[in-house]
Structure 1
Amino acid sequence: MSLVAAAVLAAGSLPGTAAGSSVLHDDDDDDSKLTSQQRDLVETLRDVTEDYRSLDEAMEDGYKKVTGCVEKARVGAMGFHYAKNSLIDAKTDAHHPEILVYMPNRHGRYKLVAVEFLSTAKKRPVIAGVKFDNGPFPKTFALHAWVWRENPDGMFAAYNPDLKCRK
């Protein structure tokens, strides 16, 4: 099992498909709670992942499915994780997110909802003033950014309470 798959599975996952509304992010969402640095990060992430809104494009560029649908009871879901293992290291680069997170819409078509940074840095990384969470096992750190799906818990929350995995 890859480092990514092990990390995400250790965080709490249930394989399956996903349920939830198919409302994806649009530019009308309220980003007013973000700092200007965080808004710049979100804009960059949207720019660099625009083509990856199509799962086929992401897979053609080397992203591979590493988990089923990740969910935590009474908290919400993350989704299906697709990682580009060559990007997983101690560096954090907004132009090259290590993981793309997808959820199927009501028609079963996978849609990009978030990106996830995964770092093996020795010290907790920070990007745009946001500290990474502890990874699910030693020597890893992770940070989600819900750039294509509104998350009521916040842009950088790990789970989205509006989403759940089907069993």
Structure 2
Amino acid sequence: MKRTAVLAAALLAALGLSTAPAGAHPGDVQVQIDLAKVRAATAQYHYLPNALDAGYIPVGDCVPGMGYHYLNPALAGPGLDPEQPELLVYAPTPSGGRRLVAVEYFQVDADGDLATDSDRPSLFGVGFDGPMPGHEPGMPVHYDLHAWVWKHNPDGMFAAFNPNVTC
């Protein structure tokens, strides 16, 4: 089993999809296995109609450095499941389509206080960004974490923005 995991990590590295979180050892096999599970769980959403059928809905315009966000409201509650991200992120394609590039995890800040972060969630050994105010009216104070599992991000797998994504 361990040899298979090491081979999987090497394959992901060759594909440019294996950037480990900041501070993690690049050979952290468990992080690579966990990210591979996220890819397996979200591969079906490369075909956007599958994401729509699964309950993901578009929210807002294209965000430079991120892309288009699709939220699944049924998943936007307490608790985190790496294989069921609350949001999918798509980059525009030259032909006018959308290409799946990242997943985003979202958690409401329990106390709604921007000055405290004792409830900061983490996945893959990485703390979420935040707390931050809502990006739109009615959106709560929250934490989020992007994982660029489908497009290389030179700023890092878990950076909020990807300079390779333009609107």
TM-score in terms of structure 1 length = 0.74
Between the two proteins, what is the percent identity of the paired residues? 39
RMSD (Å), alpha carbons: 2.0
Give the corresponding residue for 1:108.
96
Tell me: higher relative CO, structure 1 or 2? Use CA pairs within 8 A at least 6 residues apart.
1
The verdict on how the C-alpha distance between 1:97 and 1:30 changes in structure 2, with shifts beyond 3 A counting, is closer
**Aligned AA (1:53):** H
Residue in structure 1 matching 2:148, options 136, 146, 155: 146
**Aligned AA (2:49):** D
CA contact (8 A) 2:72 2:86 kept: yes
Give the corresponding residue for 1:92.
80
Structure 1 residue ranges without an equivalent (≥5): 1-24, 72-76
CA contact (8 A) 1:37 1:129 kept: no
Give the corresponding residue for 1:134.
130
The verdict on how the C-alpha distance between 1:124 and 1:146 changes in structure 2, with shifts beyond 3 A counting, is same
Structure 2 residue ranges without an equivalent (≥5): 1-11, 21-25, 111-118, 134-139
Question: Within 2, Cα distance between the matches of 1:104 and 1:129?
Answer: 30
CA contact (8 A) 1:126 1:132 kept: yes
Question: Within 1, Cα distance between the matches of 2:13 and 2:68?
Answer: 21
Alpha-carbon distance, 1:125 to partner: 0.4
Give the corresponding residue for 2:39.
46
Instruction: Find the residue that maps to 1:95 and give its secondary structure.
Output: coil
- Flag as ranges the 4+ runs of structure 1 deviating above 6 A: none
Q: How many residues align?
A: 136
Q: 1:113-124, aligned counterparts within 5 Å?
A: 113-122=101-110, 123-124=119-120
Alpha-carbon distance, 1:136 to partner: 3.0
CA contact (8 A) 2:86 2:105 kept: yes
The verdict on how the C-alpha distance between 1:146 and 1:162 changes in structure 2, with shifts beyond 3 A counting, is same
**Aligned AA (2:47):** S
TM-score in terms of structure 2 length = 0.74
